[in-house]
Amino acid sequence: MKVNVVRNVLQANDLVADECRKRFRKAGALAVNLISAPGSGKTTLLERTLPALQPEFKSIVIVGDLETTRDADRLEPLAHQVVQINTGMSCHLYANQVAQSLEGLALEAAQFLFIENVGNMVCPGEFDLGENLKVVLYSVPEGDDKVAKYPTIFRVADLVLLTKADLLGTLAFDRERVRQDIARLNANVQILEVSAETGMEQWWAWLRARREEGLAREARCVTEALAET
């Protein structure tokens, strides 16, 4: 019985997530779900990324935390629009919270929608928010043993960002061990080292490339649809 209840929650979430995905597609915004343990550098990453994407690309951010508007306050001067969701006791965002947030957003005006999920390595992996891409942040100070201990999120990641890479020379951290652990869970996922101190250009290039791919895919769909009529 308990299993059924959990399944129903997930199924209900997936239905709303599909609606969100359609909304992102219609607006032409690439939706990126940022997932990590608390403090791995999600908001800092966005603080560096939003200005780097401008003026070509505008970004909207939906940010989830248990309490406070601290992250939204940090991002508000840099984003086209920001919405803070306070989840109370919940350790991840649900698709219906994203759907509600979309009601007040000018999604058509943005090329990227970033969703900063609640800091948690486990639960956000199970809950589809309709995003196009799941990006997992894993920071050097967390230690090099965590991938195998918290595998859920790495299995579904479209990209892993090894954040705070400026600390690689300072803290004992075996990046090869991490690469091997990730490869065992998700053979083809790319891993990029980024740092708010020393740079994250590869990440910005990755975002631009995924957007280009999305546009090309849309153009193919339109061409095929026209050919069928």
Look at the block and give the residue holding tokens 């095929």.
224
| 71 in contact with Mg ion (CB under 5 A) | yes
| 81 in contact with Mg ion (CB under 5 A) | no
The region of 69-77, 94-102, 127-135, 186-194 touching Mg ion under the rule CB under 5 A is 69-77
Nearest to ligand GTP of 201, 218 (CB atom): 201
- 174: partner contacted, choices Mg ion, ligand GTP, none (Cβ within 5-8 A by kind): none
Nearest to ligand GTP of 28, 39 (CB atom): 39
Nearest to ligand GTP of 13, 44 (CB atom): 44
Nearest to Mg ion of 127, 211 (CB atom): 127
| Cβ-Cβ contacts under 8 Å for 148 (sequence gap 6 or more) | 181, 184
Nearest to Mg ion of 71, 193 (CB atom): 71
- 195: partner contacted, choices Mg ion, ligand GTP, none (Cβ within 5-8 A by kind): ligand GTP
> Where on the chain is the footprint of ligand GTP (CB under 6 A)?
36, 38-44, 65, 71, 119, 163-164, 166-167, 195-197
- 101: partner contacted, choices Mg ion, ligand GTP, none (Cβ within 5-8 A by kind): none
Cα–Cα distance measured from residue 89 to residue 166, given in angstroms and rounded to the nearest whole number: 33
Q: How far is the CB of 60 from Mg ion (least distance, A)?
A: 16
Site map for Mg ion, 31-50, x if CB under 5 A? Answer: -----------xx-------
| Cβ-Cβ contacts under 8 Å for 229 (sequence gap 6 or more) | none
Q: How far is the CB of 216 from ligand GTP (least distance, A)?
A: 32
H helix and E strand count, the chain? 8, 7
Sign of the Cα pseudo-torsion (190, 198, 29, 217, in order): negative
| 140 within 8 A of 167, measured Cβ to Cβ | yes
Greatest Cα pair distance, the chain, in angstroms, is: 61
Q: Rounded to the nearest 5 degrees, what angle is found at the Cα of 140, between the Cα atoms of 136 and 146?
A: 65
Cα–Cα distance measured from residue 41 to residue 127, given in angstroms and rounded to the nearest whole number: 21
Q: What share of the chain is helix, strand, coil (3-state, %, to 5)?
A: 50, 20, 35
Q: How far is the CB of 43 from Mg ion (least distance, A)?
A: 3
| 158 in contact with Mg ion (CB under 5 A) | no
The residues that touch Mg ion, with contacts defined as CB under 5 A, are: 42-43, 71
